[in-house]
A and B are shown apart, each in its own frame.
Chain A
Amino acid sequence: MERSDTLQEKMEQNGMSRRTFIKYCASLASLMALPPSAAYAMAEALGKAKRPSVIWLPFQECTGCTESITRSHSPSIEGMIFDMISLDYQETLMAAAGHQAEEALHAAMKENYGKYVLIIDGSVATGLDGAYSCIAGRSNLESLKEAAKGAAAIIALGSCASFGGIPKANPNPTGAVAVSDIIKDKPIVNIPGCPPIPVVITGVLAQFLTFGTLPELDKLGRPKAVYGETIHDRCYRRPFYDQGKFAKTFDDEGARQGWCLFELGCKGPVTYNACATTKWNDSTSFPIESGHGCIGCSEPDFWDAGGFYKALSMPADPLKMAATAAVAGAAVGVAISFANRAKKGAAKSAHETTKLEDLEK
């Protein structure tokens, strides 16, 4: 099937009006915290944009991110954006396989050198020279370095690509690291989440296509517009937190009343994401709405943050060293007491009885 060259044409083919597209752009602009007027510019630019080449490399991942994007319940427009891009390599989605796929990848990289957008999902294994994760006999580490060279920008999709994610969890047997730990000379947008919210990636792509810019990022490389506030800040159960009303177990009266899940280990206060506003499953709900605390999946090292069901204020690891320290302290103490007693004893045996004349110096 022949593809249309611009989105405008594609829309016309699908019988979609310009106003529909403007509305969609207005919602994207709102999500990306762009000024509302940007919607019109976006609509115009997107309408005329040529299909940029996108190369999507999967590393140590579970395909959850791909699932999240492709199973998004959003209307056809988001799918269309994907149609719009020239997804030249995506192992899971592409029809080609084996040598054919590799050839497609290298052809795309060569043809669009310096212009393509590189999407990575999954963390990069660095242990044993990256041998833990290979595609076509080449380590992810090698592939990443090669693909990054010609990329205009890199999108690290999901917590694994953004921060190392679950492969990096203690004890990290594969030496997993984030994309940003390897690539230092390219703009990288981190879209963490396990999985990330689908609309965020379309928003970032739309902005890149429209303005040729990447969204404003926070210090962890995440779009500020989406990751600017915590789940806790936007949580509908927040008033209960402020009133000190907490569910103590998952089946108590508090839980039934929909009270705050802080004491049940909710990581909402330390998790920066938009789940509480964009929600999941076609805007049905988000974890807290279903009665389970946030597990902080979009934060670095969330897997090792002290247990999903332990309140943030609780010690993560109840006093591992206490017994050892007590024994060591007692040992030090006993050693000093022997030394002290010896010293005191020596002073005593060296005692010279004071006589009257000794009172004078």
Chain B
Amino acid sequence: MSASLEKGVRVLKEVIDAPIASYFNSCVHCGLCAEACLFYTETGDPKYTPIHKLEPLRRIYEQEYTLLGRLKKMAGLSKPVTDAELDEWQELVYNSCTLCARCSAVCPVGNDIVYMVRKFREGMSAAGHAPEGIKGAVNRTVSIGSPMGVKLPAVQAQMKHVEADTGLTIPLDAEGAEYMVMLSSMEIINFPEYLGAIARIMHQAGKTWTLCSTAFEATNAGIQIGNSDLAKVIVSRIVDGAEKLKVKTVISPECGHAYTALRWEGANLVGRPFTFEVKHILEVLAEFQEKNLLKTEGFETDKLTFHDPCQLVRRGGVVQQPRKLINQIAKNFVEMPDSGFMNWCCGGGGGASAIEEGEELRLEAFRKKKSQLEAVKPDRLVTACANCRIVLEEGLEHYQMDIPVVGLTEMIAEHLPERQKPEGS
């Protein structure tokens, strides 16, 4: 056994817990999880059955933590997990799993399969069996600060640009602000409209907010590669920044995994409850809407539909908020089939979009989204995750579908009353 494999197995021994044991013992091989997985439904290849993606983990569980499995192992009757096997499984665990959790939502015995994939990735990454693309993203996030290699000066340039554009000040490191706004590097590079939208919305709502010079990047490639040690390094920056600036709430940007990393995994990674709240931008906007702090004018009249990011609906519980927000500014909002809780993944979540060699499979799986879209034929597609947005745009382009994709926050910003003076000034 190679040292790296040994390390991987040891990590798996650490992460295997009662839920995983319960899940493996409950599986009756009914195959329904395959029906929920777009990599299976679009390719028809049984190897993409979600529970099968966990086979090495199952064997380690059995060999290490069950009496019969240990006896079998002692008698030399069980098949050990090897580097070659993990190498083969890399495609199944990373390329063909976006941690979308549809399988977890349908499993009749209640297995949280994606919970297990997440844990399995701990061992896979420790054993060195993670894809190059995600490794690179982790590398850049840890060493530079952002998966796309964006540094503070780039953000500052953006800030200046937005300030000029909106005439509003973008606060940086403002201690005691109510909200600390996080960005994803995709937004910094590809969708600069987001920062402007935030500035205007906050201004209109009369809330204090700030960016943090040591923690502006919300995405956490450590979660995607599935390595808690590295994810902790990344999330700690945000925790430190938020605590230093004494903010009440940290706002996760339009990015699914950033939200999961911060909202659900963060406290567990640093090992203590947060002293601040974490909210997704849509949750904040919905709160503003409820308190009547979000005033908009005019309506979109073209046909809109909403793509639910998996980490928001199935893993985050944010389902109704985007719908309420869209209905405030749109007249012709339609739902795709399976939308909401059971929405299909864009095909690029969970770090999959960073895997170059997985592109072909990703595009194949995108046919699911294509058929969903064809069922409603929208003029534009709204979403609330920068990663979804990029993957959707790639897929739509590949299938030559002319449907522009927009972020919900910036769409709302477009409907803010023009040049409205901040209240009380």
Chain A residues proximal to chain B, CB less than 8 Å: 332, 336, 340, 343-344, 347-348, 350-356, 358-361
Q: How far is the CB of A338 from chain B (nearest CB, A)?
A: 12
A-B contact pairs, 21 of them (CB 8 A): A336-B66, A343-B13, A343-B65, A344-B13, A344-B14, A344-B16, A347-B10, A347-B13, A350-B10, A351-B10, A351-B11, A351-B14, A354-B227, A356-B142, A356-B230, A358-B4, A358-B128, A359-B138, A359-B139, A361-B83, A361-B127
- Say yes or no: B126 contacts A358, CB within 8 Å: yes
Shortest CB-to-CB span from A274 to chain B, Å, is 52
* Among candidates A343, A344, A353, A356, residue contacting B138 with C-beta atoms closer than 8 Å: A356
Judge if B64 is at the interface, Cβ distance under 8 Å.
Answer: yes
Q: Which residues of B contact A360 (CB under 8 A)?
A: 128, 135
| Nearest CB in chain A: distance from B65 CB, A | 5
**Assuming the A-B contacts A343-B65, A359-B138, are A354 and B125 also in contact, with contact meaning beta carbons closer than 8 angstroms in the complex?**
yes
Q: A332 CB to closest chain B CB, in angstroms?
A: 7
Residues A343 and B142 in contact, CB atoms below 8 Å apart? no
> A340 with B230: in contact, given A356-B143, A359-B128 (CB under 8 Å)?
no
Contact A354 B10 (CB under 8 A): no
Beta-carbon nearest neighbor of A361 in chain B:
B128
From residue B36, how far is it (CB to closest CB) to chain A in Å? 30
In the docked arrangement, what's the CA distance between A223 and B77, Å?
53
Query: A356 vs B128: C-alpha distance in the bound complex, in angstroms?
Result: 10
Q: Tell me, in angstroms, the Cα distance from A20 to B225 when the chains sit together.
A: 103
What is the CA–CA distance of A81 and B257 in the complex, to the nearest angstrom? 101
Closest to B6 in A: A350
Which residues on A sit within 8 Å (CB–CB) of B143?
A: 356
In the assembled complex, the CB of A344 is this many whole angstroms from the nearest CB of chain B, namely 6
Taking CB atoms, residues of chain A closer than 8 Å to B83 are 361
Q: Which chain A residues border B126 with CB–CB below 8 Å?
A: 354, 358
9 interchain residue pairs of minimum CB distance: A361-B128, A347-B13, A354-B229, A347-B14, A353-B229, A361-B4, A359-B135, A347-B10, A340-B65
Residues of A within 8 Å of B142, CB to CB, are: 356
Chain B residues lying within 8 Å of A352, measured Cβ to Cβ, are 7
- CA distance in complex: A336, B64 (Å): 11
* Cross-chain contact A359 with B13 (CB below 8 angstroms): no
Q: Is the CB of A359 within 8 A of B130?
A: yes
* Cβ distance A347 to chain B, nearest Cβ, rounded Å: 4
Residues of A within 8 A of B225 (CB): 359
| Residue numbers in B under 8 Å from A353 (CB-CB) | 229
| Residue of chain A at shortest CB distance from B230 | A354
Q: Is B30 an interface residue (CB 8 A)?
A: no
Bitwise interface map of B from 135 to 173 toward A, beta carbon under 8 Å scored 1, else 0:
100110011000000000000000000000000000000
Report B100 CB to chain A, min CB distance, Å: 24
Residues from chain A with a CB closer than 8 A to the CB of B4 are 358, 361
Chain A residue contacts of B14, Cβ below 8 A: 344, 347-348, 351
Q: Are A343 and B64 in contact, with the CB atoms below 8 A?
A: yes
Q: How far is the CB of A358 from chain B (nearest CB, A)?
A: 7
Query: CA of A355 to CA of B4 in the docked complex: distance in angstroms?
Result: 13
For residue B75, CB closer than 8 A to chain A, the reply is: no
Whether A332 and B67, one on each chain, are in contact in the complex, defined by CB atoms closer than 8 angstroms, is yes
Contact of A361 among B2, B66, B67, B139 (CB under 8 A): B2
**A351-B10, A351-B11, A354-B227 known; A359+B65 contact, CB < 8 A:** no
| Alpha-carbon separation in the docked complex, A360 to B125 (Å) | 9
Q: Chain A residue with minimal CB distance to B228?
A: A354
Residue-wise interface mask of B (56-100) relative to A, using a CB-CB cutoff of 8 A (1 in contact, 0 not): 000000001111000000000000000100000000000000000
CB distance from A335 to the nearest CB of B (A): 9
Question: Whole-angstrom distance from the CB of B143 to the nearest CB of chain A?
Answer: 7
How distant is B268 from chain A, measured CB to nearest CB, in Å? Answer: 15
Set of chain B residues within 8 Å of A336, measured between Cβ atoms: 66-67
- B67 contact set on A, CB distance < 8 A: 332, 336
Q: Which partner residue on chain B sits nearest A341 by CB separation?
A: B65
For B230, the chain A residues whose CB sits under 8 A away are 354-356
Which single residue of chain A is at the shortest CB-CB distance from B66? A336
Indicate the member of A336, A353, A361 with the most B CB atoms within 10 Å: A361
- Closest residue to A360 on the B side, CB-wise? B128
Q: How far is the CB of A325 from chain B (nearest CB, A)?
A: 16
B349 → chain A, closest Cβ, in Å? Answer: 20
A356, B2: Cα distance in complex, Å: 18
Task: List B contacts of A343 (CB < 8 A).
Answer: 13, 64-65
Q: Given the complex, which residues of B lie within 8 Å of A351, measured CB to CB?
A: 10-11, 14
In the complex the two chains form, what is the Cα distance from A275 to B126 in whole Å? 79
- Bound complex: CA of A355 vs CA of B230, how far in Å? 7
Smallest CB–CB gap between B374 and chain A, Å?
40
Residue of A nearest to B227 (CB): A354
CB within 8 Å of A: which B287-306 residues: none
Cα(A347)–Cα(B126), bound, Å = 13
Q: What is the chain B residue whose CB lies nearest that of A353?
A: B229
B-chain residues with CB within 8 Å of residue A355 when the two chains form the complex: 229-230
| B226-270 to A contact mask, C-beta < 8 Å, 1/0 | 010110000000000000000000000000000000000000000
A344 cross-chain contacts in B, Cβ below 8 A: 13-14, 16
* Nearest-Cβ distance from residue B207 to partner chain A, whole angstroms: 37
Residues of chain A within 8 A (CB-CB) of B7 are 352, 358
Contacts of A361 in B (CB 8 A): 2, 4, 83, 127-129
Q: In the assembled complex, how far is the CB of residue A217 from the closest CB belonging to chain B, in whole angstroms?
A: 48
